[in-house]
Amino acid sequence: MLSSGSSIEKGESLLDTAYTLRAVGADAIVIRHPNGGAPNLMAGYVDIPVINAGDGMHEHPTQALLDAYTILRHKKRFPGLNVTVVGDIYHSRVARSAVHLLSKLGAHTTLCGPPELLPEVAGTLANGVKISRSCEEAVRGADVVMILRVQRERLAGLKISLPDYIARYQMTMARLRLAKPDALLMHPGPIIRGLELTWEVADSPQSVIVEEVQNGVPVRMAVLARALGKGT
């Protein structure tokens, strides 16, 4: 895993780091990088598996896998499910990966947020993706409601203020009740209570946030096992 204080930060190129790790006997490389596409670049130059642990604002594949696994455990299927994603779509690699995977599995996805955090072009991420500016409209009838993290600093300089965002897009129990009675409430974490969602929502019976985090362990173990040739 490339992290703070790594050779990258000291000036070594991404590819030289990959060659060094391969030379010392690494069987796989897990990389989180601030630049989108870095894992794909590295994978083209080494003969061992490269696992993307998040690249910039591009994607976060294992988060999408654990989210899909969590949904499947409860809903038993994907075709026809209505999944609503609310929050900062623009900066979210979680959202991009979720949209790509869930759409391939047959789920219908609605993205919800203000224009500053959800450009219209997001509707082209996959076939059938809908854009909504109304939280109430987006949540109504949903099987899964996925809330994204909103960082205060990213609202600086935008037309939408923090109080405005909270008033229009914070997940409250009143809004969650517009979804189906058995709808799942998800969040990749870490959550910010009182901003993206209320305390009541975070601790509601519909919340599977803690389970979602727990599922990251077996899912990522499975990814490593498959990458290392120990899985089927």
- CATH of the domain spanning 61-213, picked from 3.20.20.140, 3.40.50.740, 1.10.1060.10, 3.40.50.1370: 3.40.50.1370
111 bridge partner residues: 85, 131
Q: Which residue, 20, 56, 49, 19, is CA-closest to 35?
A: 56
Q: 76-104, pLDDT tens digit by residue?
A: 999 999 999 999 999 999 999 999 999 99
* pLDDT of the chain, 232 residues: tens digit per residue: 554 455 555 446 899 999 999 999 999 999 999 999 999 999 999 999 999 999 988 999 999 999 999 999 999 999 999 999 999 999 999 999 999 999 999 999 999 999 999 989 888 888 889 999 999 999 999 999 999 998 887 777 778 888 999 999 999 999 999 999 999 999 998 999 999 999 999 999 999 999 999 999 999 999 999 999 975 5
Token readout for 15 is: 């590819």
Question: What are the structural domain ranges in the chain?
Answer: 14-58, 61-213
Is the torsion defined by CA of 166, 169, 173, 175 positive or negative?
Answer: positive
Whole-angstrom Cα distance, residue 33 to residue 11?
A: 14
For residue 115 the two structure tokens come to 């224009």
Q: How far is CA 123 from CA 39, 126, 207, in A?
A: 25, 7, 27
Q: What are phi and psi of 171, to 5 degrees?
A: -80, 115
Q: State the pLDDT at residue 6.
A: 55
The strand pair at 130-132 and 184-186 is best described as: unpaired
